[in-house]
Amino acid sequence: MNKTLKRIISIIIIIGLLFLLVGYKAGWFSAKEKQTQAGRNNSQEALIVSAIVLSPGGLSDVITSNGTILADEQVDLSAEVSGRITSIRFNEGVAVRKGDLLITINDSELLAQMRKNTYALKLAEEREARQRSLLSKEAVSQEVYDRALTELNTVQAEAALIEAQIQKTRIVAPFNGTIGLRQVSDGAYVTPGQRIATLTRTSPVKLEFSVPERFSGSVTKGAKVSFMVESLDGTHEAVVYATEPRIDPVTRAMMVRATYPNSKNEINPGAYARVEFKLNHLADAITVPAQALIPELGGYKVFISRNGKAEVREVLVGIRTSDAVQITSGLNAGDTLITTGILQVRDGMPVNITKITTQKQ
- Of the listed ranges 21-35, 136-150, 316-330, the one predicted with least confidence: 21-35
- Coil, strand or helix at 329: strand
What is the pLDDT confidence band of residue 139, given thresholds at 50, 70 and 90?
confident
Contacts made by residues 298-302, CB under 8 angstroms, sequence distance 24+ = 302/327, 302/330, 302/331, 302/337, 302/338
Are 61 and 280 in contact by the 8 Å Cβ rule? The answer is: yes
Nearest by Cα to 131 from 121, 139, 122, 119: 139
Buried b (16+ CB within 10 A) or exposed e, 279-308: eeebeebbbbeeebbeeeeeebebbbbeee
Q: In angstroms, rounded to a whole number, what is the distance separating the alpha carbons of residues 8 and 41?
A: 45
> Residue 158 to residues 43, 46, 83, 205, 319: CA-CA distances in angstroms?
106, 101, 21, 43, 71
Number of H helices and E strands in the chain, helices first, is 4, 19
Top-tier CATH class for 47-58+283-358: mainly beta
Rounded mean pLDDT of 122-150? 88
Mean pLDDT of the chain: 86
pLDDT of 269 over the 90 cut: yes
Q: How far is CA 145 from the centre of its chain?
A: 71
Strand partners, 275: 65, 227
pLDDT of 39 over the 70 cut: no
Edge to edge, the sheet with strand 170-172 lists: 170-172, 101-105, 83-88, 189-190
Those residues with Cβ within 8 angstroms of residue 164's Cβ, 6 or more apart along the chain or in another chain: none
Kindly report the CA angle at 34 between 32 and 36, in degrees rounded to 5? 70
Torsion of CA 287, 290, 291, 293, to 10 degrees: 70
Nearest by Cα to 193 from 19, 106, 68, 77: 77
pLDDT of 37 over the 70 cut: no
Q: In angstroms, rounded to a whole number, what is the distance separating the alpha carbons of residues 296 and 302?
A: 10
pLDDT of 330 over the 70 cut: yes
Q: In angstroms, rounded to a whole number, what is the distance separating the alpha carbons of residues 211 and 217?
A: 10
Q: In angstroms, rounded to a whole number, what is the distance separating the alpha carbons of residues 33 and 24?
A: 12
- 64-71+200-282: CATH number: 2.40.30.170
What is the pLDDT confidence band of residue 136, given thresholds at 50, 70 and 90?
confident
Rounded mean pLDDT of 138-153? 88
Buried b (16+ CB within 10 A) or exposed e, 132-171: eeebeeeebeeeebeebbebbeebeebbeebeebbeebbb
Q: Which residue has the higher pLDDT, 30 or 126?
A: 126
Of all residues in the chain, the percent with pLDDT exceeding 90 is 52
Each residue's pLDDT tens digit, 104-121 = 999 999 999 999 999 999
pLDDT at site 5: 64
